[in-house]
Structure 1
Amino acid sequence: MTEELPGQLIDVDGRSTHVIIEGSGPPVVLLAALGSNWFDLDQLALALSPSFTVIRFDRPGYGASEALPRDTWPTLGGEVGRIASVLDALAIEEPVLIAAHSMSSMYAEAFAREHPDRTAGVLMIDGTFVMFPWRVLPTALRVRNCHRAVAVADLLRLPQLLGAAAHDSVFPTPPTGYTAAQRFWVRQVFSRSDMLRATLVENAAFPSINMDLIDLRRRDGGTVRAAVTVLAALPAAGLWLRWWRWRHQRYAQILGGVYEEISPANHLVVAQHPADTAFYIQRLARRAGHLPTPPRQLGT
């Protein structure tokens, strides 16, 4: 069985990049989490497409996008530039709303700070906010260790043996399940060592990316100028709920944004609760003037 790749492959800064654009209306860019691919956002994109032009792309090594060279790794500036280059390639000139999940919230914040004229609003979906910055090993050494780990995994044929099972052990099944095409692409992508390498290398680059973001916050001097919502995914009860809520409320305060929450939910809320996530994107879009506000009903 084979499936036609959805979307298109475009040249972004000399690298083949997988991009999907669908729907109609004001543009919203969905940024996937660490270790996540386009198909993990399918149901969220479907919920948004009646109201928005929904743009997704796979970062290097993920999905169907060409991997980075072995001696390079993701950087904050590089990912901000990639978002801008994708928008340029698609001739998107108006400001966009960015909905960023997990670690990609760092790229969304940096883009909003570097390109305020291109940013209508930003939604951080259970975003990454580090309370105590750290950097122990040099990034180059951390990345070399990732390549060594992938070489061992390749030798043992782990990507091919695990395939979709590696995905399904982490990602919740969407409310309506997976289509045959989605299952096909999960198997294809997760049987490739490029996917494993991209995840490990991006994680290895995290401390450096985080420090660059902190430096950018200091230089930028204050809150994000676009409308911001910090959306926390909270468990039903327990100590973790209070800590996670406080952490994200602090995150919203730092960014000058509004705090919202979905509960009960886990970190992979975009797949677990796509309709609820779409609701908060639409709410932010209206607050930012990116979508018209529906007229009030008489008596309300």
Structure 2
Amino acid sequence: MTSTGRFLDIGGAAHHVVVEGAGPVCVLSAGLGMSWFDWDPVVPLLAPFRTVVRFDRPGHGLSAPAPAAAPPTAEGEAHRVAALLDALPPPLRGTPVTVVGHSLAGFHAEAFARLYPARTACVVLVDSSVEEHARVPAAPALRTAATRALAAALCAAGLPAAFGPLARRAGVRAGRADASGGGRGGHGRADPAPVPLVRRCYRTSRVLRGALRENTHYRAVAAGLLALRERHPLPAGLPVTVLAAYDGRGSRAGLRWLARQRGLASTLGARFEVAEPSGHLVMLDRPDAVAQVVLAAGRPGEVTGGGTRPAP
């Protein structure tokens, strides 16, 4: 069963944090609605060479809900990672870290590198969200209030307890490639997460509220990152890798997604790799590919083998 860790107070909320391994620090942050244990297949491949830090954002995994008055922002999530590092034991503080962000957390990883360049050794974006022209939606307070009302209604009806784990399983299956290289639309492989942990996390109203909260503010966070790009350039020479998922089917949607991921790499001056076959949940489908790009990050000229390949 996956490891559980300690709780650290960050910004007035108890954050669940797991630290394993030895060596330079590597921070793993998962996408919307995911938990620390979704990195389980990757950690054994990294822990012999890296101190691996996993954490749950507010309302995710085992972390406490976020303070009601604090909607997520790109800057705020970067500060969260910095505060998390500051709260670690002294031997783990102070040295630059590799920050790895999956999906929505790709925004957070990039924001951290822009706001804390001296603390960033490398950036790895794992099938990161991409929003080339995001704008802050109108009436954010109204959207927040509507989301809270929806969450309250769903929780009052008992939906998290009744359907939370099922929704989690369905989401994971939709985000994985099947064994033959197919992938999206609900035909992927099963959820490998331990059943007791899935029930412990996803039967709670806390996780439902956390996922709805992040989904509501997704566009605003994306717009905030675009603003950071204008004000805070990445340091020259910072190693950045974009690892894109590709199911290998050659579908129009799949190739469009690869093109957007390639465009992100071009925007960031990043190295571009493709994990194939893989659905969006690359850490589950291709943990070897994730580990390879993380371990190779910062070593110019090194080509990873077996897990990734250049884009088609």
Q: How does 1:121-160 map to 2 (within 5 A)?
A: 121-160=122-161
Give SS of 1:128's match.
coil
Shift of 1:125: 0.4
- Deviation of 1:177 after TM superposition, in Å, equals 7.0
Once the two structures are superposed, what CA deviation does each residue of 1:38-90 show, in whole Å capped at 9, x if it has no partner? 11111112221111100011111111111112333112221111101111111
Distance 1:144 1:15 in 2: 21
Query: Quick one: distance in 1 between partners of 2:11 and 2:161?
Result: 30
Q: How does 1:142-291 map to 2 (within 5 A)?
A: 142-172=143-173, 178=192, 182-221=194-233, 225-236=237-248, 237-287=250-300
Q: Helix, strand or coil: the match of 1:60?
A: coil
What is the Cα-based RMSD across aligned positions, in Å?
Answer: 2.3
TM-score by length of 1: 0.88
The residue type equivalent to 1:244 in the other structure is: W
Name the structure 2 match of 1:298: none
User: Which residue of 2 is the match for residue 22 of structure 1?
Assistant: 20
Residues 154-181 of structure 1: per-residue CA shift (max 9 Å, x gap): 12211000132111101148989747xx
99 and 224 in structure 1: CA distance in 2 versus 1, 3 angstrom threshold: farther
Contact 2:15–2:62 at 8 Å: present in 1 too? yes
Q: Which amino acid is 2:195 matched to?
A: R
Preserved contact between residue 223 and residue 255 of structure 1 (Cα < 8 Å):
no
Runs of 4+ in structure 1 off by over 6 angstroms are 173-177
Query: CA contact under 8 A between 1:98 and 1:122: conserved in structure 2?
Result: yes
Instruction: Say which is worse superposed, 190-199 or 217-226, in terms of deviation.
Output: 217-226
Deviation at 1:198, TM superposition (A): 0.6
In the superposition, the TM-score normalised over structure 2's length comes to: 0.85
Which stretches in structure 2 are left out of the alignment for 5+ residues? 177-187, 303-312
1:116 deviates by 0.8
SS in 2 for 1:286: coil
CA contact (8 A) 2:2 2:37 kept: no
Aligned partners of 1:223 and 1:256 also within 8 Å: no
Q: CA deviation at 1:35?
A: 0.8
Please, which of 60, 63, 66 is the counterpart of residue 62 of structure 1? 60
Which residue type is aligned with residue 199 of structure 1? Answer: A
* Number of equivalent positions: 285
Distance in 2 of aligned mates of 1:156 and 1:225 = 52
Distance across 2 between alignment mates of 1:4 and 1:214: 36
**Which range moved further: 237-246 or 189-198?**
237-246
Letter aligned with residue 251 of structure 1: L
Distance 1:177 1:126, change over 3 A: closer
Deviates most, 34-43 or 221-230: 221-230
Identity rate of aligned residues, in percent?
Answer: 34
CA distance in 1, matches of 2:39, 2:141: 31
Q: Are the counterparts in 1 of residues 2 and 40 from structure 2 also a CA contact under 8 Å?
A: no
